[in-house]
Structure 1
Amino acid sequence: MKEEPDSLSVPYNFARCFNAQCPQAPKCLRHIATQLDTADNLYITIINPARYPADGNQCECFKTAVKVHVAWGLKRLLDRIPYEDAVSIRIQMVGHYGKTGYYRFYRGERGLMPKDQAYIRQLFRNKGIKEEPTYQRYTEEYIW
């Protein structure tokens, strides 16, 4: 699966902020999103400029720009563990995420956020498997 630039991952309806004078702009995901936009977007959602706070420090729309470590693909996840444990872990993941959700993770269509990775790690620990789960690839993504 190919790497996608950050501009493709900005949700269509994510509100952008064009207040470049705001002291929090370099740390605000809404302002960073304006820099990731391309001409491909005919319409975008923006924060109403009339709502910009005077000092910029108490902005109700501020969203911290933090990237998280996202894992992709489960195809090889269960290859190196005992068959019985692999079957049990797979059943638990399908029960937790649903069949559709599980297969989206499996095929790498959807990334596993840190909480999902922790859940899978715990499934391994519950079976006595000390080896860390490994995924097909990893990326650093913003939490929109």
Structure 2
Amino acid sequence: MELEYDEIPSGWPVCFLNDCPRQDECLRHKAGLTLPPTTLQTLAVTPAARKEDGCRMFFPVQVVRVALGFTRIFKEVKQRHAPEMRARLARYLGGNGTYYRYRRGERPLMPGQQQWIKDLFSSYGYTEEVVFDAYRDIFRFYND
């Protein structure tokens, strides 16, 4: 899977330390290689991050499967459960505005968030698999 420049979150430090022994397994170095030649400045890791036992800014390359959208997950939910389940999910996702961004697939649901939603359904007695609208593999830039 190839990393594209537009996938890098704004303000995420990249690395240009080509003498690093772990550069092939570091997402920051991989991200640094994607910068367009027209980029004049960016947030970068400095040599001070390197230590004898490694790098304080090292971030491993990891690909995760995210879910995009959940417009159909309440289809089989009983009417008496739906309002409370939606309210709990909205609180978990940070409020109504972000709830709808996640619902429409504008924000990806990380694996931990997907599991929380599955556990919510399970806690109400729903045993059928929770299926999200779409799935995509992306690079993990943050620990969730």
TM-score scaled to structure 2, two decimals?
A: 0.83
After superposition, residues 21-32 of structure 1 pair within 5 angstroms as 21-32=19-30
Give the distance between the partners of 1:72 and 1:118, measured in 2 at CA: 14
Q: Which runs of 5+ in 1 are unaligned?
A: none
| TM-superposed deviation, 1:10 | 0.4
Give the distance between the partners of 2:88 and 2:11, measured in 1 at CA: 34
| TM-superposed deviation, 1:29 | 0.9
Moved more, 74-83 or 105-114: 74-83
Q: Assess if the C-alpha contact under 8 Å between 1:89 and 1:123 holds in 2.
A: yes
| Structure 2 residue 58 is the aligned partner of structure 1 residue 37 | no
1:92 match: secondary structure: helix
Instruction: Give the partner amino acid of 1:78.
Output: F
Structure with the higher fraction of residues in helix conformation: 1
After superposition, residues 6-25 of structure 1 pair within 5 angstroms as 6-25=4-23
After superposition, residues 1-144 of structure 1 pair within 5 angstroms as 6-39=4-37, 41-49=39-47, 51=48, 53=50, 57-97=53-93, 98-144=95-141
Give the distance between the partners of 2:126 and 2:38, measured in 1 at CA: 46
Q: Assess if the C-alpha contact under 8 Å between 2:68 and 2:108 holds in 1.
A: yes
Q: Which runs of 5+ in 2 are unaligned?
A: none
Task: Work out the percentage of aligned pairs sharing the same amino acid.
Answer: 29
TM-score scaled to structure 1, two decimals?
A: 0.83
Give the distance between the partners of 2:39 and 2:80, measured in 1 at CA: 49
Give the distance between the partners of 2:136 and 2:38, measured in 1 at CA: 23
